[in-house]
Amino acid sequence: MGVIETLTTNDITRVRRHPERASYDRDLLMDILSNGFVCSVSFQVDGQPFIIPMTYYNDSEYIYIHGNPASRIVNTFRSGAPLAISVLELNGIVLAKGLASNSMNYRSAIIFGNAVELPTDEDKLSYFTEWIDRMVPGRKEKTILPNEEELRGVSAFKVKIEKFSVKVRKGGPVETRKNPEIWSGVIPASLKFSTPEFASSPEAPDYVMRFIESRNGESKKHQ
């Protein structure tokens, strides 16, 4: 924890590789977070680094994550150790003529901080209902709420969105090698949702179909 306290925000968050792609704009960060579902959480235990994919929810001040109370990552959160949370949005594969110039179009964000546990069952329940409703709007009205035992079986934490950086790469290939016979360009990529499977009913609720339609349209916006 001492490392994160002795560095300034700029020291931690400054993007050094391709700084022209960097942004420290909070609105851009919020847009990236609102478009994603999974983050990667990095932490260290006894000098050994770990990175775990986790679902998340965020509001304007915090990013929220949860896990099993007996897990290594939850114990690390409770110790007050520093962590880093990364979110990546892949928007395209960039094929340049030269092998050394291939790249990807993306939007990414890293948040640095410490996790604070949500103390009460009411806090956890509020987080979980907001999380599922952000994931699939309308779902929180159509779900079975957890009982006390289920709430005790999970720990939830929040990390203040204070120290962060954003990095964006967009556009075509940077051509350092010229050869008219070799094709170059961008293959757009997006997260696409399909017709529900393994469903309890053959007809999906309206809010599910609206979610699929709206998210598929949203994914095209950032290509």
For every residue of 22-35, which 3-state class applies, written as one string? EECCHHHHHHHHHH
Q: Is 49 left (phi over 0), alpha (psi -120 to 50) or beta?
A: beta
Q: What is the pLDDT along the chain (223 residues), one digit of tens a residue?
A: 334 443 444 677 778 787 777 888 999 999 999 999 999 999 999 999 999 999 999 999 999 999 999 999 999 999 999 999 999 999 999 999 999 999 999 999 999 999 999 999 999 999 999 999 999 999 999 999 999 999 999 999 999 999 999 999 999 998 888 898 999 999 999 999 999 999 999 999 999 999 999 999 876 665 5
Which residue in the block uniquely carries the two structure tokens 């999970």? Answer: 154
**Cα(22)–Cα(25) distance, rounded to whole angstroms?**
9
CB 118 within 8 A of CB 156: yes
**Cα(160)–Cα(147) distance, rounded to whole angstroms?**
28
* Residue 41, amino acid: V
Beta-carbon contacts of 86 under 8 Å, excluding residues fewer than 6 positions away, are: 39, 40, 41, 42, 108, 109, 110, 111
Whole-number pLDDT of residue 212: 96
Domain 2-189, second-level architecture:
Roll (2.30)
CB 68 within 8 A of CB 199: no
pTM over 0.85: yes
Beta-strand ranges (E) seen in the chain are: 22-23, 38-45, 48-55, 57-58, 62-67, 83-95, 103-113, 115-117, 155-160, 163-169, 185-188
Whole-number pLDDT of residue 168: 95
